[in-house]
Amino acid sequence: MTTRKKNSRNAVPRVKRPIPDREGPIRSWAAAANPNPQTNHGNGSRAEPNVPVDHQDPINRGVVAGGRVVDEWIRQAQQTARMLGGTRSTAGWADASGQMFKTASDMMAAWWSLFGVPLPNAAPGIGSRQPNAAHDSAWAASTWAKPAADEAGPRVAAPPRGAERTPSSAAGPRVRLEISSRRPVDVTVDLHRRGSVLFRVLDLRPQSGEAPRIQGTTLEAWDTEGVRLRLDVPDDQPPGTYHAVILDPAVDSAVGTVTLRIPD
């Protein structure tokens, strides 16, 4: 409250301003709620705060991996476009754009599943202008598979986190990825149809260059509603992107793809 006080010099009552609750704005609600943060924010305006990142934390790892996913989106989208660059048919373009959109969406879905939260509303992107009915009931899974132990350790066959998921489509089955690799790799399964007990996965071929094919990949029914992909990445397999076509022997047609990316 405002107070009226005696002036010491001439004894005339003089009022003083009240004491305010605070003398400045709250710039950070987090800081206001936690006045003793663990992180070192520094004082100098030009000093960049040095906040350590815990790379063992699963969320941290997921976010970091997200950066690589972005690179991959761009790469794959461009590659698809390049493959279709010579064709000028509208249908080819529709397929291409739909594929690009799908690829990106699938990777986002898989990456996002690391956080265990619902997907955001589907972004129409270019897909909204290039609807691809063939993909309407498709489902897919992908992940960055990182060995649970350190990279010099024994080979691991356990499915990486996020490898098992329920597809966004209620009609879709679950997919289980069993990747055996010493190195972190990215695997995408893009399957447009279900039903067969045993799919046939052709050899994974390098997207470019002369790297050897990867053989022995299988995709088979697992559980009552899901499928399981088994993929063994040789230790000496050159870095790069590899693709394989999935065939459904029951209908004798291609029903999907597997994409493997081994980073440099």
Partner 1 sequence: MAPDRIKVAVVGGGCAALTAVFELTRPVHQGRYEVTVYQQGWRLGGKGASGRGPSGRIEEHGLHLWMGWYENAFRLMRQCYEELDRDPALCRIATWRDAFKPDSFTGAMEQTLNGEWRCWRAALPIAPGLPGDSQLDSPHWTVGDYMIRAAALLRTLLETITTGLDTGDQPASVADARTQPDRASIDSIAAFIRLGQLGTLAGLIQAVELLGTVIREVSPEAGRLLLPFVEAISTNARVQLREIVSANDESRRLWTIMDLTLATMRGILRHNLATHPRGFEVIDDYDCREWLLLNGASQQSVDSGYLRALYDLGFAYEDGDPARPRLAAGQALRSMLRAFFTYRGAFFWKMQSGMGDIVFAPLYEVLHRRGVRFEFFHRLENVGVDWGEDRHVKTLEFDVQARTPTGAPYRPLIDVRGLPCWPSQPLWDQLEHSQQLRQEGRDFEKFFEPPCGDRRVLQVGTDFDFVILGIGIGAVPHVCREIVERDPRWRSMVDHVKTVATQAFQVWLKADTRELGWEDGAINVSGFVEPFDTWADMTHLAAEENWQESPRAIAYFCNALPDLEAIPDRQRVDWTVTNRERVRRNAISFLDGDIAHLWPNACGPKGTFKWELLADPRSGKKNINLTGERRFDTQFWVANVNPSDRYTLSLPGSLIYRISPLDRTYDNLTIAGDWTDCGFNAGCVESAVMSGMLAAHAISRVPRLNEIIGYDHP
**Which one of the spans 73-81, 181-189, 198-206, 228-236 is the region binding partner 1 (CB under 8 A)?**
73-81
Binding part of the chain for partner 1, among 111-119, 145-153, 196-204, 231-239 by CB under 8 A, reads 111-119
The DSSP bridge pattern shows strands 175-180 and 226-232 to be parallel
Q: Which is nearer to partner 1, 62 or 172 (CB)?
A: 62
Pick the closer one to partner 1 by CB: 13 or 154.
Answer: 13
Residue 77 interacts with partner 1 (CB under 8 A): yes or no: yes
- Among all chains, which residue has been given the structure tokens 């698809």? 80
Q: With 0-12 CB in 10 A as exposed, 13-18 as middle and 19+ as buried, what is 209? A: exposed
Considering only 56, 88, 136, 154, the residue that binds partner 1 (CB under 8 A) is: 88
Q: Is 91 in the site for partner 1 (CB under 8 A)?
A: no
Q: 49 to 68, contacts with partner 1 by CB under 8 A?
A: 49, 51, 53, 59-60, 63-64, 66-68
The smaller minimum CB distance to partner 1, of residues 62 and 173, is found at 62
> Least separation, in Å, of the C-beta of 66 and partner 1?
5
Nearer to partner 1, 1 or 197 (CB): 1
Under the binding rule (CB under 8 A), the answer on residue 100 touching partner 1 is yes
Q: Within a 13 Å sphere around the CA of 252, how many CA atoms are in the beta-carbon half?
A: 0
User: In angstroms, what is the minimal distance from the CB of 59 to partner 1?
Assistant: 7
Contact 241, 260 (CB under 8 A): yes
Asked if residue 251 binds partner 1 (CB under 8 A), the reply is no
Q: ∠ at Cα 181 (53, 52), nearest 5°? A: 5
Strand partners, 145: 185
Task: State the number of CA atoms in the 13 A half-sphere of 38 facing the CB.
Answer: 3
Q: How far is CA 148 from the centre of its chain?
A: 18
The window from 74-82, 145-153, 204-212, 240-248 that contacts partner 1 (CB under 8 A) reads 74-82
Q: Which of 56, 91, 95, 97 binds partner 1 (CB under 8 A)?
A: 97
Q: Applying CB under 8 A, does 129 fall inside the site for partner 1?
A: yes
Interatomic CA distance for residues 75 and 68, integer angstroms:
11
By CB under 8 A, the residues from 8 to 47 that bind partner 1 are: 8-10, 12-32, 37, 39, 41, 45-46
Q: How far is the C-alpha of 121 from the C-alpha of 4, rounded, in Å? A: 61
Binding segment toward partner 1, per CB under 8 A, in 1-9, 150-158, 161-169, 196-204: 1-9
Instruction: Give the alpha-carbon dihedral of 129, 247, 201, 190, to 10 degrees.
Output: 20
Q: How far is the CB of 100 from partner 1 (least distance, A)?
A: 4
Q: Does residue 125 bind partner 1 (CB under 8 A)?
A: yes
> In the complex, what is the shortest distance from the CB of residue 211 to partner 1, in angstroms, rounded to a whole number?
23
DSSP-assigned letters across all residues of 20-43 = PS-SS----HHHHH-SS-SS---S
- Give the tokens for residue 19: 């004491």
